[in-house]
Amino acid sequence: MNLGREHARALDAADALRSWRSRFNVPRSQAGDELVYLCGHSLGLEPRLAESYIREILGAWGTLGVEGHFAGRQPWVAYHERLTSPLARLVGAHDDEVVAMNSLTVNLHLLLVSFYRPAGERTALVVEKSAFPSDRYAAWSQVRFHGLDPDRHLIEISPREGEDCLRTADVIERLERDGGRIATVLLPGIQYVTGERLDLAAIAGAARRAGCTVGFDLAHAIGNIELQLHDTDADFAVWCSYKYLNGGPGAVGGAFVHQRHAQREDLPRFAGWWGHDKASRFRMGPEFNALPGAEGWQLSNPPVLAMAPLVASLEHFDAAGLPALRRKSVTLTGYLETLIQRRLADRVRIVTPAAADARGAALSLRLAVDREQAFAVFEGLRRRGFITDWREPATIRVAPVPFYNGYDDAWRFVDALATELA
């Protein structure tokens, strides 16, 4: 491969998606220069269209007041429904299986109420040992909520000694071995530190064969890789919308509930009025009549101002097409990987799996220096105009997002990293 910058620029010139960058606001330095933003796995950039959609809501509020719920171009009472079909397309689900609501951990708790039902010998909840802290806190507290001891009833799956990533075969073997005591399995679609993509269909199949319910945290997967949630046969899934979905800080999250649970009245749930049947919701009756499908897990009326940026972003996903974005992601991430291996293999170890189908648009880089030196490198990159992400003890995460990153971004990053390490 040609490692020169001219080659990177030529790849950008031939990129069919290069014009999408102009539809996002890229942060700038104090001098007015665009920063190299490689942190979309933590917070995606702002779609420029978002501002007009927010202003539209503010305008309706100002001119219509409460009537904006049912009047105007986009009545608020059904605003969240604008997100349903685009989200369903992104996760490979039917429309009635998805809903935009709450935040990730709130949705996780709501769905664990329904799908983690310890009873008899089947009491354990399975998570990964290196789970995102909020997921682990939720799992730990759910076990405690049922009066159980997490030290006994929270099973944590780890990579093999000396390895960074989980092996699907090891996960399946654990489910087969301990399936009789496992009530629910909760694992990520993409592991947040290593960037490893898990085989959701294989894990869900093993869990269901073992008689367990199974759910996935798709925070780092949705909008990043192609998903087929319905076909995986998972019971539930949750996600946030501020990473690859570009929904803004603290954006409204989402949830998936498989169609087979759409009208199950036997499932316990924490109810709220927005999960009540739409036809009778405003009669304000005392009896809860759940909507069929994922919408039946809603609690409160949607925060439309917070949903507007996500509406804008999902329109971009529909226009660009996730398959095209994913194709660019594979080549762009592969290009970044090759540059690092060719120039920095003796000083940087890529923790993320090498196979394209085993990762998304992010690489986790373990620097061959001590913690203080590694953090100095991270800070040095920031001073040079590169926005990346730090994870203890000495890992820098970088995500070349296909919507707004290019090959020149990757080249410039590796050049700057080489300079800092030197």
Nearby residues of 310 by Cβ (< 8 Å), 6 or more positions away:
83, 100, 241, 245, 246, 247, 248, 251, 252
Do 128 and 187 form a contact (C-beta atoms < 8 A)? Answer: yes
* Residue 216 pLDDT grade (very low, low, confident, very high; cuts 50, 70, 90): very high
Q: What is the pLDDT of residue 265?
A: 86
DSSP state of 290: B
* Residue pLDDT, tens place only, 6-61: 999 999 999 999 999 999 999 999 999 999 999 999 999 999 999 999 999 999 99
Q: What is the pLDDT of residue 31?
A: 93
* Residue 72 pLDDT grade (very low, low, confident, very high; cuts 50, 70, 90): very high
Alpha carbon of 127 to those of 147, 177, 274, 399: distances in Å?
A: 18, 15, 30, 25
The number of residues in the chain equals: 422
pTM: 0.96
346-369 burial: b if 16+ Cβ within 10 Å, else e: ebbebbbbeebebbbbbbbbbbee
Q: Which helix (H) or strand (E) holds 52?
A: helix 49-64
* Residue 3 pLDDT grade (very low, low, confident, very high; cuts 50, 70, 90): confident
Task: Please determine, for residue 235, whether its predicted confidence score (pLDDT) is greater than 90.
Answer: yes
Average pLDDT over residues 319-335: 98
Q: What is the pLDDT of residue 413?
A: 98
User: Angle at the Cα of 176 (from 172 to 183), degrees rounded to 5?
Assistant: 100
- Burial class of 280 by CB neighbour count within 10 A (0 to 12, 13 to 18, 19+): exposed
CATH superfamily membership of 5-34+321-421: Aspartate Aminotransferase, domain 1 (3.90.1150.10)
Q: What is the pLDDT of residue 2?
A: 82
**DSSP-assigned states of every residue in 183-232:** EEEEEESB-TTT-BBP-HHHHHHHHHHTT-EEEEE-TTTTTTS---HHHH
Average pLDDT over residues 251-265: 95
CATH 3.90.1150.10 residue window(s) in the chain: 5-34+321-421
Q: What is the pLDDT of residue 193?
A: 95
Whether domain 55-318 has CATH 3.40.640.10 = yes
CA 284 – CA 184 distance, rounded (Å): 35
DSSP state of 252: -
Q: What is the pLDDT of residue 102?
A: 97
Percent of the chain with pLDDT over 90: 98
Which of 115, 168, 120 lies closest to 138, judged by CA? 115
3-state secondary structure of 322: helix
Which of 360, 250, 294, 365 lies closest to 93, judged by CA? 294
Alpha carbon of 282 to those of 4, 273, 345: distances in Å?
A: 64, 9, 63
Task: Please determine, for residue 1, whether its predicted confidence score (pLDDT) is greater than 80.
Answer: no
CA 383 – CA 350 distance, rounded (Å): 23
3-state secondary structure of 172: helix
- Determine the straight-line distance between the first and last CA of the chain, rounded to whole angstroms: 23
CA 205 – CA 214 distance, rounded (Å): 9
Q: Which helix (H) or strand (E) holds 311?
A: helix 304-320
CATH 3.40.640.10 residue window(s) in the chain: 55-318
Q: What is the pLDDT of residue 179?
A: 95
* Residue 172 pLDDT grade (very low, low, confident, very high; cuts 50, 70, 90): very high
Average pLDDT over residues 217-242: 98
Task: Please determine, for residue 95, whether its predicted confidence score (pLDDT) is greater than 80.
Answer: yes
Q: Which residue has the tokens 């809860």?
A: 288
Task: Please determine, for residue 195, whether its predicted confidence score (pLDDT) is greater than 80.
Answer: yes
CA 305 – CA 201 distance, rounded (Å): 35
* Residue pLDDT, tens place only, 114-160: 999 999 999 999 999 999 999 999 999 999 999 999 999 999 999 99
Mean pLDDT of the chain: 97
- Burial class of 91 by CB neighbour count within 10 A (0 to 12, 13 to 18, 19+): buried
CA 84 – CA 254 distance, rounded (Å): 9
* Residue pLDDT, tens place only, 11-21: 999 999 999 99
Higher pLDDT, 2 or 358: 358
Q: What is the pLDDT of residue 352?
A: 98
**DSSP-assigned states of every residue in 82-147:** GGHHHHHHHHT--GGGEEE-S-HHHHHHHHHHHH---BTTB-EEEEETT--HHHHHHHHHHHHHTT
